Amino acid sequence: MMQQLTMKPGNSLQGTVQVPGDKSISHRSVMFGAIAQGTTRVKGFLPGADCLATIACFRNMGVSITQESPTSLTIEGAGWEGLHEPNQLLDVGNSGTTIRLMLGILAGRSFYSAVAGDESIARRPMDRVLHPLREMGAQVDGRQGGRFTPLGIRGGGLQGIRYQSPVASAQIKSCLLLAGLQAKGETVVEEPYRSRDHSERMLRAFGAEVNSFSGGVSVRGGQQLSGREVRVPGDISSAAFPMIAALLVPGSQVTLQDVGVNPTRTGILDVLKAMGATIEVKETGEWCGEPVGDITISTSTLFGTEIGGELIPRLIDEIPIIAVAATQAKGKTIIRDAAELKVKETNRIAVTAGELTKLGARIEETEDGMVIEGGTPLTGGICDSRGDHRIGMATAIAGLIAKGGVTVHNADAINVSFPGFSELMSRLGKVHS
Ligand code: S3P
């Protein structure tokens, strides 16, 4: 069903809430649990559409996965050999992480599988992982010369490689680590900037030896993983929406509890602090190798900033909502080195600029980012998620400061990563019509 969501200016936002589990870590808990020996129990799993697609794919390969509650899973892993040839299409839905990481696993399995997803997935580049996987020995074909879904893959007989990735991408790195664990010899992945390192941390927690060095990471082939308990921290990429809402709605103060604060993901905190935000982070522990903390944020006067270079992979998914904050800052915000945004769920440079411009924002698109004029009052209106969860949430949050509010069409896309988004926002303040 194509839902609509309306958010409009109301009173201040107050309270302490928990956002749903981290999407990246939830995917990995299912995949690593499926290829490990023994039982993996997951708490705090994100029951969003993307991660449910990962569960369905691994069930199709014969793995027993029980969902005791929306956020609790038990996965009975039987090692690499426990995966069986699926007799149906592996449908990844809207999830780039599912397809790219799973391809690394399938590349080492000698059976045949067919993999596809929705229309957004059909437009997203798969050659970035297929090219190195072919170099390792996997046989893969697909549309347009083997670059796009639907894909057919028959794996096995992999040889380790040294691969210099042209982009800082955790999906590429993780895919090659998963293939590398099944390959002969060593696999080395180098990247221009450090991307999120959840795979490295979780693989180590599952007993694998993974070597991180400045500029990359390597694994030896022939390693087995052991199942374990995983507690998934809250997703900082989801926390970014109530955080920026609290920054912008006058008189607000909000605490997000148990959020993952892995330094490869906290670019959003660095940027908001640089813009003048009052943010306090209290680290409370480490879950399965991932640092966790409580984030308290209150309404602040913001200033424009420049965002580029190594910061980009540390906040790539937060750029649509950062753009909303930047419309209200004093001065210009310049985002560069972010061409990767063009190959996300949508072209997020064009779509962020296009949707926010409908509300009166002044945003210039550039080749690798955007320039946002601050101090721009937003007017209400109608936006469309275009099937992109983060665009849906960013435009809804814009409604909290837009005269007359914003109605978001195709708001059901939000369930991809943040089920319960509008309910959580309502708990913090009166934001709905
Ligand atoms: C992810 C990596 C990032 C990110 C995506 C999740 C992951 O993608 O944008 O939402 O879980 O590995 P890239 O690897 O394409 O940068």
Per residue in 274-303, pLDDT (tens digit) is 999 999 999 999 999 999 999 999 999 999
What is the Cα–Cα distance from 327 to 360, expressed in whole angstroms? 9
- How many whole angstroms from 352 Cα to the centroid of ligand 1? 18
196, 199, 201, 393: which to mutate for ligand 1, most atoms within 8 A of CB?
Answer: 196
Assess whether the C-beta atom of 238 lies below 6 angstroms from ligand 1: no
- How many whole angstroms from 219 Cα to the centroid of ligand 1? 20
Q: Specify burial of residue 251 (Cβ count, 10 A radius: 0-12, 13-18, 19+).
A: exposed
Look at residue 74 in the predicted model and tell me its pLDDT: 99
Look at residue 157 in the predicted model and tell me its pLDDT: 97
316, 318, 349, 417: which to mutate for ligand 1, most atoms within 8 A of CB?
Answer: 316
**Beta carbons within 10 angstroms of residue 92's beta carbon:** 25
Q: Specify burial of residue 232 (Cβ count, 10 A radius: 0-12, 13-18, 19+).
A: buried
The H or E element that residue 227 is part of is none
DSSP character at residue 179: H
Look at residue 213 in the predicted model and tell me its pLDDT: 98
* For ligand 1, atom 4: residue with the closest CA: 317
Cβ–Cβ < 8 Å for 193, 310: yes
pLDDT digits (tens, 9 = 90+) for 210-240: 999 999 999 999 999 999 999 999 999 999 9
- pLDDT-derived band at 126 (thresholds 50, 70, 90) equals very high
b/e map 415-427, b = 16+ CB within 10 Å: bbbbbbbbebbee
Assess whether the C-beta atom of 149 lies below 6 angstroms from ligand 1: no
- What are the structural domain ranges in the chain? 4-21+233-428, 23-231
The size of the chain, in residues, is: 433
The closest alpha carbon to 324, from 369, 288, 368, 374, belongs to 374
Name beta bridge partners: 355: none
Assess whether the C-beta atom of 316 lies below 6 angstroms from ligand 1: yes
What is the Cα–Cα distance from 422 to 59, expressed in whole angstroms? 31
Look at residue 433 in the predicted model and tell me its pLDDT: 61
Look at residue 13 in the predicted model and tell me its pLDDT: 98
* For ligand 1, atom 5: residue with the closest CA: 97
To the nearest whole percent, how much of the chain has pLDDT over 70?
Answer: 99
- How many whole angstroms from 196 Cα to the centroid of ligand 1? 8
Assess whether the C-beta atom of 328 lies below 6 angstroms from ligand 1: no
- How many whole angstroms from 171 Cα to the centroid of ligand 1? 5
* For ligand 1, atom 16: residue with the closest CA: 169
Q: How far is CA 79 from CA 57, 75, 274, in A?
A: 16, 12, 46
Assess whether the C-beta atom of 95 lies below 6 angstroms from ligand 1: no
Q: Inform me whether the pLDDT recorded for 378 exceeds 70.
A: yes
Assess whether the C-beta atom of 24 lies below 6 angstroms from ligand 1: yes
Cβ–Cβ < 8 Å for 34, 83: yes
What is the Cα–Cα distance from 2 to 410, expressed in whole angstroms? 5
- How many whole angstroms from 28 Cα to the centroid of ligand 1? 12
Collapsing DSSP to helix, strand or coil, 129 comes out as helix
Sheet holding 363-366, edge to edge: 306-307, 332-335, 369-373, 363-366
CATH label, 4-21+233-428, candidates 3.90.1150.10, 3.90.1200.10, 3.65.10.10, 3.40.718.10: 3.65.10.10
Q: Inform me whether the pLDDT recorded for 1 exceeds 70.
A: no
Which atom from ligand 1 is nearest to the alpha carbon of 168? Answer: 16
Which atom from ligand 1 is nearest to the alpha carbon of 199? Answer: 12
Residues 6+ apart with CB under 8 A from 160: 136, 180, 183, 184, 185, 186, 187, 188, 220, 221
* For ligand 1, atom 9: residue with the closest CA: 317
| Catalytic residue annotation | 317
What is the Cα–Cα distance from 46 to 415, expressed in whole angstroms? 10
Q: Which residues are annotated binding-site positions for 3-phosphoshikimate? A: 23-24, 28, 169, 171, 317, 344
Q: Inform me whether the pLDDT recorded for 42 exceeds 60.
A: yes
Name beta bridge partners: 226: 37
CATH architecture of 23-231: Alpha-beta prism (3.65)
Same topology, domains 4-21+233-428 and 23-231? Answer is: yes
pLDDT mean across residues, the chain = 97
Sheet holding 72-78, edge to edge: 64-69, 72-78, 37-43, 229-231
DSSP character at residue 206: T
- How many whole angstroms from 150 Cα to the centroid of ligand 1? 20
What is the Cα–Cα distance from 432 to 425, expressed in whole angstroms? 9
Q: Inform me whether the pLDDT recorded for 432 exceeds 90.
A: no
What is the Cα–Cα distance from 152 to 138, expressed in whole angstroms? 11
pLDDT digits (tens, 9 = 90+) for 46-59: 999 999 999 999 99
What is the Cα–Cα distance from 142 to 121, expressed in whole angstroms? 13
pLDDT digits (tens, 9 = 90+) for 311-345: 999 999 999 999 999 999 999 999 999 999 999 99
Look at residue 430 in the predicted model and tell me its pLDDT: 77
